[in-house]
Amino acid sequence: MNEAELRKTLLSYFETCFDRYESLFGCLRSDAAYFQKSISLRHPLIFYFGHTATFFVNKLLLAKLIPERINPRFEALFAVGVDEMSWDDLDEANYDWPTVAEVKAYRQQVRSAVTRVITEASWCGPMSWDNPWWAILMGIEHELIHLETSSVLIRQHRLDFVQPQSSWLPVNAKPVDCGAVPKNALVNVPAGAVTIGKGDPHADACASAGEARRYGWDNEYGVHYAEVPKFSASRMLVSNAEFLAFVDAGGYAEDRFWNEEGLGWRKFAKAMHPSFWVKQPDGWALRLMCEEVPMPWDWPVEVNCHEAAAFCVWKAEVTGMSVRLPTEDEWYRLYDLSGITPETPAQRRLSGGCSAVPVNQYAQGDFYDVVGNVWQWTCTPIYPLAGFEAHPIYDDFSIPTFDTRHNLIKGGSWISCGNEALRASRYAFRRHFFQHAGFRYVVGEAPLVPQVSHYEDDALLAQYAEFHFGQSYFDVPNFPRAVAEISLKAMQGKPMRRALDIGCAVGRTSFELAKGLPGALGFESVIGVDFSARFINLADELVRDGIVRYALTDEGSLQSFREITLAKLGFTDCSAKVAFLQGDACNLKENHREYDLVVAANLIDRLYDPAKFLDEISQRIVLGGVLVLTSPYTWLEEHTPRAQWLGGFRRDGERYTTLDALHAHLSRDFEPIGAPQDVPFVIRETARKFQHSVAQLTCWQRRA
C-alpha cells in the first residue's frame, strides 16, 4: 500500500469508527440520560462520550503529531476515570460536566484535528509500534473498546433513559421453549501446544500467523508457549436455559458454590439471578440494550466471572466431574482446532443485529461460537507475556491490570470490532464486571494458570522504588525524604491542611509530608500526582497492601530482590492521609485547588510546557502558601521542545539560567523564601552503575 492509499484507508477507518461511536449515543433518549449513572462504579455516560475524543488529543500530543491542546479543561476532565483504580477519581463532587452540545462540538473539533493529521502530517513508514502514527491507530482501537463498554452501560441504564435506534436493533428472538433448547455436550480436545504473543513489538511482523502488521496492544507482544494437556469442553456456550437449572436449584443462595470474592460480590449486589434477566409476572424477560424481550432461552447467558465460576462449582457437584472455566491456553487450543483464520467470516459480527444469537447457530469446527456471539470468561488472570514492554505513550493500558484481579475474556462479542476480533487480542476485566460476556465450561486436569510475578521487574520502576524507599548510596541522604523535610520546615507556623506532591513518582515525599517532622504533625491530606500510571500503581499498591517487592538489576540478567513495607518505613499511621492520582502537571483538573503546599521535585525539566506550569501554579495555592521546586536543570529535547526550555542558553548574548527564568515567571505571585539549596541524589542503575546528580531546591511563598 503506497502512502496515498494508506492515508485514504486510515481516514476511512477513523471516520467509520468515530461515526459509529457517536451513533451509539443516539440510543439515549434525552440529554438527562447522559448525566445519570448507569451503575455506581462508573461515571455518567457524558464522561465516556468525551473520553474517547480526549484520548486522541492526549496521545497525538505525546506523539508530537499535533502542536497544542484543543480544550485543556475537557482534556483534564475526560482523561481518566474508566476502571476502579484509586486514581480514577469517581467522586462526582469533583466534576462540573459540560453540556451535551458542548461535548458534541468538541468531538467535531477533534475529528477535524485527527483528519488534518491523517491527510497532512509528514509520513514515514512502516506503520509500527515505534511510528508516531501508531497513536492514530491507538485512538481508533481505544474508541472501539469503548464502543463495547459504553453499550454495556447503556444496557445497564434505566429503561426510560434509552430508546431503540434503527442502526442498533437486536436480532429478532424466536420464541423457543426452555425444554426445546439443544442440550449441551462435552467434546474431547486432544493434548497439544499453543503459542501466544506477537513477539518483539519493534519488529515489522508479528509472531502470530496471519497477523503481521496488525495493530496490537502492548499486552499482546512478547511470547508464551504452553503444552496443553487433553481436556473436554462444552460444545456450545452455556445458554439461558442451561443456566436456569442453576438458578432454579438455588445456586445464588448457596454459599458453597461461591468463592470468597464471589460471595462478597453476590451479597453486595443482592444478586439472585443474572443481572440482565428481568422477572415478570408471566415469566422471565431479557434486558437488551434498549428494550426488554421475552426470554430467548437458546441465547447464551450473559454473566460476570463470579457467576460463571459458581455455575461450574454447582455443575461439578451435580455431575461428579471436575467442571471449571477454561484457561486462556485452552481457549487458544479450541481456536487453533476450529479452522478459523483472520479472514474467516465467523471472525466478524455474524448475528445481523445488535445482540447475541442462539448458541447453536454458528458452528466452528466441532464447537459453536469459539469466536463471536458473546465474550467467554476464562479462569486466567491477565499477566505479561515474556518480553512484555509497556507502550511509552500508554503505559496504563495493561500494567494496572497485572494485579490478579482482572480475568481474561476471549473470543469477542457481537459488537467487537478491529483488534478485539483477532486471535491475538488479550482483554481482561475485573471479575465482577459485566460485558457482553458468557462462558463455556471444560473438564480436565487442574488448570495451569501462569503466575504473575510478585516482584516488580520493570527496570525504571525498580530503580525509582529503590531511589525512594531503598538504601542510600555513597552517604547521600534519601532525596525524596530530604525534600519533604525542607518543605515541612518551610511550613513552620503555617496551616498544614492540604499538600500536593506533583510529579510524585512512587510517592516517598507524599508519605513523608503526611508523617511530618519528628515530634510534629504532618499534613492532614496529601495528594500525590504523576503522569506515569506505573509509578502511581506502585505507590497505590503500597497504600493498599502495605508491601511492595521489586527486582533490581545487578549485572546482565542477575537480580537482587527487595521488599518494602509501610511498617518498616514508619508510614502505617499516616498512609490513610495519602492518595495517589494520575494527572498531567501542565493540565491539572479543576479540583486541584486550595493547597497550602505544592512540591514539584525534579519535574520542570521533564514537562512539555514548563512555563505554563509555572505561570498557572499560583492558582492552586492559597495566599501565604508555599511552592517548593527542585531540578537538576537537565534540559533534553526528548522531554521538552528546545523552544520551551526555561533556561540553559544565552539571551541577548548573556547566560540565561533556569533560576533566572524561575524568578521571571514566579515574581508576580511569589516571593522567594531563603536562598537556593543544593540537594544531591543518587539513582542506582546496576550494582556498579549509579547516577549522581545535584538538584537545586528553591522555596517560594505566594503573596497577595
The SS3 call for residue 10 is helix
77, 591 contact by CB (below 8 A) = no
The SS3 call for residue 459 is helix
Phi, psi for 160 (deg, rounded to 5): -75, -5
Q: How far lies 98's CA from each of 101, 106, 456, in Å?
A: 8, 10, 40
Residue 385: closest CA among 525, 544, 241, 206: 206
Helix axis angle, 45-62 to 100-120, nearest 10°:
30
What is the mean pLDDT for each group of 10 consecutive residues in the chain (704 residues)?
A: 90 97 97 93 93 97 94 91 56 80 98 97 89 96 97 97 94 88 96 94 56 81 93 98 98 96 95 97 95 96 98 97 96 94 50 86 96 96 88 87 91 94 94 96 80 60 94 96 98 96 97 96 96 89 91 88 92 95 91 96 94 96 97 93 93 94 96 97 96 97 90
pLDDT confidence of residue 349:
43
The torsion defined by the Cα of 592, 594, 597 and 599, in degrees rounded to 10, comes to: 20
Q: Which residues contact 655 (CB under 8 A, 6 or more apart)?
A: none
First to last CA, the chain: 62
Helix axis angle, 45-62 to 134-156, nearest 10°:
170
β-partners of residue 599 are: 501, 628
Distance of alpha carbon 664 from its chain centroid, rounded?
39
| Peptide bond before residue 126 is cis, with ω within 30 degrees of 0 | yes
- Kindly state the helix (H) or strand (E) to which residue 538 belongs, with its residue range: helix 533-545
Q: HSE (CB half, 13 Å, CA atoms) of 553?
A: 18
Within a 10 A sphere around the Cβ of 642, how many other Cβ atoms?
A: 10
Within a 10 A sphere around the Cβ of 671, how many other Cβ atoms?
A: 10
Q: How far lies 312's CA from each of 180, 360, 414, 667, in Å?
A: 22, 21, 24, 67
Phi, psi for 284 (deg, rounded to 5): -90, 145
pLDDT confidence of residue 452:
54
β-partners of residue 352 are: none
Q: Mind spelling out the 3-state secondary structure of 57-90? A: HHHHHHCCCCCCCCCHHHHHHCCCCCCCCHHHCC
pLDDT confidence of residue 2:
87
d(CA 503, CA 535): 10
Q: Which residues contact 146 (CB under 8 A, 6 or more apart)?
A: 21, 48, 51, 52
pLDDT confidence of residue 551:
87
Fill in the DSSP letter of residue 260.
Answer: H
Q: State the sign of the Cα–Cα–Cα–Cα dihedral 255, 257, 261, 262.
A: negative
The SS3 call for residue 224 is strand
The grid cell for 330 is 485452552
Phi/psi region, residue 590 (left: phi>0; alpha: psi -120 to 50; beta: rest), is alpha
Fill in the DSSP letter of residue 372.
Answer: S
62, 133 contact by CB (below 8 A) = no
d(CA 105, CA 32): 18
Give CA angle at 600 (595, 603), nearest 5°.
150
d(CA 306, CA 310): 6
Helix axis angle, 459-469 to 479-490, nearest 10°:
50
β-partners of residue 552 are: 560
- Kindly state the helix (H) or strand (E) to which residue 611 belongs, with its residue range: helix 610-616
Distance of alpha carbon 298 from its chain centroid, rounded?
34
Phi, psi for 172 (deg, rounded to 5): -75, 105
- Where b means 16+ CB within 10 Å and e means fewer, 63-99 reads bebbeebbbbebbbbbbbbbbebbbbbbeeeebebbe
The grid cell for 483 is 525534600
- What domains can be seen in the chain, in order of their start residue? 3-161 (1.20.120.450), 185-238+300-444 (3.90.1580.10), 459-702 (3.40.50.150)
Radius of gyration of the chain (CA): 27
pLDDT confidence of residue 342:
63
Strands 283-287 and 277-280 turn out to be antiparallel
Q: Which residues contact 282 (CB under 8 A, 6 or more apart)?
A: none
540, 488 contact by CB (below 8 A) = no
What DSSP letter does each residue of 103-171 carry, written as one string?
HHHHHHHHHHHHHHHHHHS---S--STTSTTHHHHHHHHHHHHHHHHHHHHHHHS-GGGB---GGGPPP
Residue 353: closest CA among 531, 172, 127: 172
d(CA 315, CA 330): 19
d(CA 424, CA 301): 25
pTM score: 0.82
The grid cell for 72 is 485543556
The grid cell for 365 is 469446527
504, 510 contact by CB (below 8 A) = yes
409, 377 contact by CB (below 8 A) = yes
β-partners of residue 279 are: 284
